[in-house]
Amino acid sequence: MKIQDSVLGEANARREADLRRDYESLGERLARRGIAIDAIKAKIAAFGIALPSWAAGTGGTRFARFPGAGEPRDVFDKIDDCGAVHRLTGLAPAISLHIPWDKADPAALLARAGEHGLIFDAVNSNTFQDHPDLPLSFKYGSLSHVDKAVRDQAVAHNLDCVELGRKIGSKALSIWIGDGSNFPGQADFTRQLDRYLESAHRIYAGLPEDWRLFVEHKMYEPAFYSTVVQDWGTSYLIAQELGAKAACLVDLGHHAPNVNIEMIVARLIRFGKLAGFHFNDSKYGDDDLDAGVIDPYRLFLVFNELVNAEGTPGFSPAYMLDESHNVTDPLESMMASAMEVARAHAQALLVDRAALRAHQESNDALMASETLKTAFRTDVEPILAMARLEKGAAIDPVAAFRALGYRAQAAAQRPKVSGAGGGIV
Ligand code: RM4
Ligand code: MN
Ligand code: MN
């Protein structure tokens, strides 16, 4: 499916005059606050986020999955879909693959991504399910399994991911494992972590010089009593023990309720161990809801820390989405989510940092909070939309996506897949 420039042009033409007025008026108001709107727009135009290939299809819960029409059938369809998201938002120039789900010929992957101007971000290994072509089961764990043969298989899979990643230009391996336990006493916490570390060291040793290893923590699920890499503390200790190429990946949904995630981000930045993000939102647990739909203020506060840290040597977090779209069109969700992340970034760029510092140093709690709120309350949509227009993307990506009839075209070209079964893909 190709996005027709003429239809996109028409959709934009209908909105352009209003947008220019809104942009000018916002520019005037920001100028009163000493902010140059074009400088903010330039930063947003340079901002990009990687899309998770696995989120292009409809997700599911452990109860059921309700696929929509025109679902991607393979990684090439997923790349096409991510290309459409990038074309319409101008915000998603990269795609993160999940192996073995996306295993394919590297040259063919590069060629298809190149057609859309996409590059490949971190490669994700998968040892939380069995692979049809691997002899041993990951039912009782992978990198921390009691059986060395299973650990060897898990290590080899991760190194295969690096091998594929090298061929497609990725520079990082993200490791999230389902290892843990479901019953008290089932696993010896310390021995299990020791086994994990020994395996992780072997993967680390196989990383190319210019690669990074992203350690992703998650409090629970699929293991419901304990998880080997359960929180940022363990993740940090692991990354620290492995070495300079290892750092911690923060998936927003992977924390206990009410945890202060922005503070975790600040701590990881302070110690040079923030790898990047899997953005999503949650109400209860690892809900994998669309970024910014539940708590946009929290997303803003995370970006507040990131903007605050700009200029720190070696600071270059990876920005990725990680969501499960169960009831929406996955592409509309990815567009909306990428825009929410960019919105939080733009709002954080508006924080009057000198004023904030002065309020902090004079212990003026109320005005410190108001300084953040002033930035957060600013409707930055004209900045985001103008950045999109100037890139040749859509002023209103979701409306354009619908006007283009992308999903109907996809449905015509891609036969419907079975609705049976649960699971995330
Ligand atoms: C996990 C975790 C990983 C993702 C899988 C699909 O909960 O967030 O990052 O790869 O889901
Ligand atoms: Mn994740
Ligand atoms: Mn998750």
Phi and psi angles of residue 180, each rounded to the nearest 5 degrees, phi first: 175, -140
Can you give the length of the chain in residues?
425
Question: Are the C-beta atoms of residues 244 and 282 closer than 8 Å to each other?
Answer: no
> What CA–CA distance (Å, rounded) separates 247 from 229?
13
Q: Is the CB of 176 under 6 A from ligand 1?
A: yes
C-alpha distance from residue 79 to each of 45, 176, 290, 316 (Å): 22, 22, 20, 25
| Nearest atom, ligand 1, residue 249 CA | 9
Tell me the CA–centroid distance for residue 356 and ligand 2, in Å. Answer: 32
Q: Six-digit token pair at 325?
A: 């779209």
- Of 111, 125, 127, nearest in space to 162 by CA: 125
Question: Are the C-beta atoms of residues 325 and 58 closer than 8 Å to each other?
Answer: yes
Question: Are the C-beta atoms of residues 113 and 97 closer than 8 Å to each other?
Answer: no
Q: Which residues contact 218 (CB under 8 A, 6 or more apart)?
A: 176, 227, 229, 230, 251, 254, 286
> What CA–CA distance (Å, rounded) separates 5 from 27?
29
Q: Give the number of other CB atoms < 10 A from CB of residue 105.
A: 10
- Of 5, 38, 118, 9, nearest in space to 386 by CA: 38
For residue 77, the Cα-to-chain-centroid distance in whole angstroms is: 19
Alpha helix locations (H) across 33-98? 37-45, 75-89
> What CA–CA distance (Å, rounded) separates 7 from 20?
20
C-alpha distance from residue 31 to each of 40, 90, 205, 380 (Å): 12, 26, 52, 14
Tell me the CA–centroid distance for residue 96 and ligand 1, in Å. Answer: 12
Peptide bond into 100 cis (omega under 30): yes
Within the chain, what is the greatest distance between any pair of CA atoms?
Answer: 66
- Of 350, 284, 286, 273, nearest in space to 312 by CA: 273
Q: Whose CA is nearest to atom 3 of ligand 1?
A: 176
Tell me the CA–centroid distance for residue 253 and ligand 3, in Å. Answer: 6
Q: Is the CB of 286 under 6 A from ligand 1?
A: yes
What is the helix (H) or strand (E) element at residue 330, kind and residue range?
A: helix 330-349
Helix 296-308 vs helix 365-377: angle between axes, to the nearest 10 degrees?
A: 110
| Nearest atom, ligand 1, residue 216 CA | 9
Q: Which residues contact 263 (CB under 8 A, 6 or more apart)?
A: none
Per-residue pLDDT of the chain (425 residues; tens, 9 = 90+): 778 889 999 999 999 999 999 999 999 999 999 999 999 999 999 999 999 999 999 999 999 999 999 999 999 999 999 999 999 999 999 999 999 999 999 999 999 999 999 999 999 999 999 999 999 999 999 999 999 999 999 999 999 999 999 999 999 999 999 999 999 999 999 999 999 999 999 999 999 999 999 999 999 999 999 999 999 999 999 999 999 999 999 999 999 999 999 999 999 999 999 999 999 999 999 999 999 999 999 999 999 999 999 999 989 999 999 999 999 999 999 999 999 999 999 999 999 999 999 999 999 999 999 999 999 999 999 999 999 999 999 999 999 999 999 999 999 999 776 554 445 55
Pairing of the two strands 226-227 and 180-181? antiparallel
Q: Is the CB of 251 under 6 A from ligand 1?
A: yes
User: Which amino acid is present at 200?
Assistant: A
| Nearest atom, ligand 1, residue 98 CA | 10
Tell me the CA–centroid distance for residue 84 and ligand 2, in Å. Answer: 22
Give the model confidence (pLDDT) of 184-225 as tens digits: 999 999 999 999 999 999 999 999 999 999 999 999 999 999
Per-residue confidence (pLDDT) for residue 420, from 0 to 100: 46
- Ligand number nearest to the C-alpha of 281: 3
Q: Six-digit token pair at 306?
A: 């990131």
- Ligand number nearest to the C-alpha of 102: 1
Give the model confidence (pLDDT) of 178-190 as tens digits: 999 999 999 999 9
